[in-house]
Amino acid sequence: MKVWVKALLLCAISLGANAAEVVLNGTLTQGSLIRGQAPVGAEVWFNEQPVVVSAQGQFVFGIGRDAALQHQLKVVHQGKQQQFPLRFTAREYDIQRITGVEQKYVAPPKEVSARIANDSAKVRQVRSTLTELQAIFAEPVRPAAGRISGVYGSQRVFNGQPRNPHFGLDIAAPIGAPVFAPWAGKVLLAEDLYFSGLTVIVDHGFGVSSTFMHLNAIKVKVGDTVAQSQHIADIGATGRVTGPHLDWRINWFQERLDPQLLLPEFTPNQTQRLALTP
Ligand SMILES: [Zn+2]
């Protein structure tokens, strides 16, 4: 009898210990996507903005290239509110000088300004998609083989003229080499855009999307469901490029994040455990 009571008590304690924490997977640094696990039923706010939490307690958030370093996670669990300050580290970014870019991409002619505005409105709109696809909680696979020819965050100087920083991971490979879906998802956009050429955007759930740019061929259409590792496109040299490569971007809604921080081959997994006091 005594042993039985003890076993039951131990069981209750270990259940409580499992439930009473929030686990954050990812590097607390600029440009990072953080994937979290809260107790089932908990509510989560990032900097006072509510984040969507799945029925299993999963959620995501991210900060941009130049974001502030001090952030706040608020969790309400079993009616009790707890605040966790999150300190992120600052990154240092390279300057990348690129010459030989066609002048129509450095200083686009007036007649394409409406098209460029329309392209960015469309991209913005599809990146505001919120679904509860669980794909984003899996480990990603690298979308293409090849040399890393450009990294996230670099300040860009095209033909001597400073332009926006680079927000993608560039993988150089021959025209026609396959592009694989890094996670499963649903195709949100598949078309030719002025700067990014043939472009595919795939939703992976919870506001996280991948963008694949400068493609030579697209193998999917809007609304298609894709599996992880599915061949979705071929690498190309369309849009503002100086040679064939894949430019892979990750967004959390409009926030641009660093794909390399999510690939274990570049970034070891880091986990933070935030204890919820009962
Ligand atoms: Zn690029």
pLDDT of 228 over the 80 cut: yes
Q: Residue 117 maps to which CATH number? A: 2.70.70.10
The pLDDT of residue 7: 46
Cα 137 to ligand 1 centre (Å): 25
- DSSP assignments along the chain, one per residue: -HHHHHHHHHHHHHHHHHHSEEEEES--BTT-EEEEE--TT-EEEETTEEE---TTSEEEEE--TT--SEEEEEEEETTEEEEEEEEPBP----EEEE----HHHHS--GGGHHHHHHHHHHHHHHTT------GGGSPP--S--SEEEE-TTPEEEETTEEEPPP-SEEEE--TT-EEE-SS-EEEEEEEEETTTEEEEEEEEETTEEEEEEEEEEE---TT-EE-TT-EEEEEB--SS-SS-EEEEEEEETTEEE-GGGG-TTTS---EEEEEPP-
Cα 276 to ligand 1 centre (Å): 41
Cα 100 to ligand 1 centre (Å): 15
Cα 76 to ligand 1 centre (Å): 40
pLDDT of 8 over the 90 cut: no
Cα 70 to ligand 1 centre (Å): 29
Cα 240 to ligand 1 centre (Å): 9
Q: Residue 31 maps to which CATH number? A: 2.60.40
Read off the pLDDT of residues 64-81 as tens digits, 9 standing for 90 and up.
999 999 999 999 999 999
Split into its structural domains, the chain has a count of 2
Domain of residue 39 covers 2-90+265-275
